[in-house]
Structure formats: structure tokens, C-alpha cells
Amino acid sequence: NEPKSLGGNVVNQVQNYLKATEFNMKQCEPKRLVPPNHIYEVNATGLEKNYYYNLLDWSQKDVVAIGFHTDLVMSKYQTMNFESVFSTEELNVNQQESEFNENLITSLKWMNNGIVIALGLNDGQIALFDAVRQVPIRVLLGHQKRVTSLAWNNFVISSGGYDNMIFNKDIREKGYITS
């Protein structure tokens, strides 16, 4: 039961196939342009050092959003010029006498349309922000502690909190909690 050796004819066929494939791959057009300097460093001195925070998200419109302490900063990927567009200190909805002195951003997530971004805050609020007009849209309440995760499904936002609760909210309805 010795292994059979490949005949010279088969080896030549395989080599010819590989050469043809390599030639064809060189002729393919790239599907997207990768900039020559594709590694960017951002000085993140205001970034909270907490493993459980989700402070960065990338929209379908190539906008990168980062939560720095209480500020939302954004940039188009092509330019990587970050600018602060919103501060959660402007929200006055749920100012409680509690351990939360500031509305720290603890999570953020772009809606599928790339226009609306949800900001989960340290005090349990979720702020919806219109990135095109650069104005807050609405504040959703429900969590008693920080919002740790956010996910979108069309107009329904799901949020998980440090209070061990998960909420689904349809942002088109007046009531806050869907399920």
C-alpha cells in the first residue's frame, strides 16, 4: 500500500493553475480604498479606564464616535479630526441626589441608519442624539444604575444595565418600555 506518485502531467497542471490564479488575482480591482496611513492614534486622556464601558462605535456612514468622560466626540474616518459635538452635562432630566455626580458616558451605539446615536449614561439614562443636526432628541429612563450595553433593531433599542435589568424600547412610542 505505497502512496502513488503524481505523474508529471498532473504536477504541471497544478502549477499552471496556480500561476493563472495568481495572475487573475493581480488584475482584480480593490473593493475599497485603504489609506496608506491606516493606523491612527488618538490621544485619549479623558477616556474612562473601565473594562465594562463600551465607549467606541463606528457608523455605517464611516463616522467614528467615542465617549470621553461626559463628552461625545466624532470624526469622519477619512479625516480623523475629532471634535466634541455634545456634552451630557446639558441634560437636566434626572438630576438625583445620589452617588452620580456626573452623567458619564458608559456605552454608545449607532442606530442602523448612521444618523442617531444612543448614549448610555452612568445614572441609568439613555440619551438619543441626532448626529447630523447635532442636537439631543430624547432621553429614555428606566435603569437605576449605569447602562452597560446597547443594541439596535430598527427603531427598538435594547439596553442592559448594571442593575441587572434589560429593557427593549421602541423610540417611536411615547411610553418608554416595550418589554
Q: Which of 22-31, 43-52, 81-90, 123-132 has the lowest mean pLDDT?
A: 22-31
Asked whether the predicted pLDDT for residue 137 surpasses 80, the reply is yes
Q: How far apart are CA 123 and CA 177, in angstroms?
A: 17
State the pLDDT confidence band at 19, using cuts at 50, 70 and 90: low
8 A C-beta contact, residue 110 and residue 58: yes
Q: How far apart are CA 56 and CA 162, in angstroms?
A: 19
Asked whether the predicted pLDDT for residue 29 surpasses 80, the reply is no
At 103 the pLDDT is: 83
Residue of 161 and 179 predicted with greater confidence: 161
Rounded to an integer, the average pLDDT of 39-49 is 66
Q: How far is the CA of 46 from the CAs of 72, 105, 107, 110, 122, in angstroms?
A: 11, 11, 15, 21, 15
Q: How far apart are CA 161 and CA 151, in angstroms?
A: 12
Rounded to an integer, the average pLDDT of 104-124 is 92
Tens digits of per-residue pLDDT, 57-67? 999 888 999 88
